[in-house]
Amino acid sequence: MTAPLRFDIADGIATITYNRPEKLNAMTPGMADLMWDAVRRCNAADEVRVVILTGAGRAFCAGSDISELDRYATAWNFRNRPEYCDALRALLKPSIAAINGYAFGGGLEMALSCDIRIAAGTARFAAPEIKLGWIGGGGMTALLAHSVGPSNAAMMVLTGDPVDAAQAADWGLVSEVTAPEDLLARATEIATAIAARAPIAAETARENLKAAFNMPLERAIAYERDLQAICFATEDAAEGRAAFAEKRQPAFRRR
């Protein structure tokens, strides 16, 4: 059988590919376990400096496989299941969602959980759970409100209707829209640039971005200054200054 999730590492970039194209890459509990395994591998591997997430076929991910949901004996069991969006948010490395097609439900939540989102022109985005009688539970409302604003978030979660890639870019849901055939190359180009940066600084920067949404302004600025001091004390920061003085490319070693 074909693995429902592929994991590859090359040149400091880990690529996680959802690989159930015949089911629009809908997530099963088994795939959630594989997501947790992939995230643990990325976190533990110093050679992984950035992670790309994408889907096989015409979907990024259509969310949870609805046919699997009746396996939970109670709503409480469902509430406490291993969550694939939680796995992605446990990732310590910078992440890029290369959204090649449908990003619906949990697929949209996974895209929103990535640091950078780019989309093919064929991508579609939706929070369709309301059409089935429930709402998203992997961060949908909070993450959408931060990304597209409260009114646009309300439009998506209350209607469940999809928006296309151009609308997503206009709302700030994605940073760029590319031709489908150029999507992975562009994601790799961005990932390569990030992988060349000081990895401790890159990981610290993404933690600082999270803090910006969760702290009052003055606390967030003070926290940023603390994180800056931590980065400044690393060997990589000394190497960056030396490389600048010597007019050469720095060789960062994650120290």
Domain hosting residue 128, numbered range: 5-195
Contact status, residue 85 vs residue 35, Cβ threshold 8 Å: no
pLDDT digits (tens, 9 = 90+) for 208-226: 998 888 899 999 999 999 9
Nearest to 127 by CA among 148, 105, 151: 105
> Contact at 8 Å (CB) between 60 and 97?
yes
Q: Tens of pLDDT along 98-128? A: 999 999 999 999 999 999 999 999 999 999 9
Residue 1 binned pLDDT confidence (cut-offs 50, 70, 90): low
Query: 80 and 42 in one domain?
Result: yes
Average pLDDT over residues 56-82: 82
> Is 253 inside any structural domain?
no
CATH code, 65: 3.90.226.10
Per-residue confidence (pLDDT) for residue 149, from 0 to 100: 95
The whole-angstrom separation of Cα 75 and Cα 64 is 15
Residues with catalytic function: 109, 129
**pLDDT surpassing 90 at residue 152:** yes
With cut-offs at 50, 70 and 90, classify the pLDDT of residue 65. Answer: confident
Query: Tell me, what's the pLDDT at 53?
Result: 98
> For residue 57, what are its two tokens?
């076929």
Across residues 61-68, what is the average pLDDT? 85
pTM: 0.92
Specify the CATH number for the domain of residue 208.
1.10.12
Assess whether 159 and 34 both reside in one domain. Answer: yes
Residue found by looking up tokens 């439900």 in the block: 105
| pLDDT attached to residue 81 | 75
- Is residue 157 a part of any domain in this protein? yes
Rounded CA-CA distance 141/139 in Å is 6
Co-location of 215 and 110 in the same domain: no
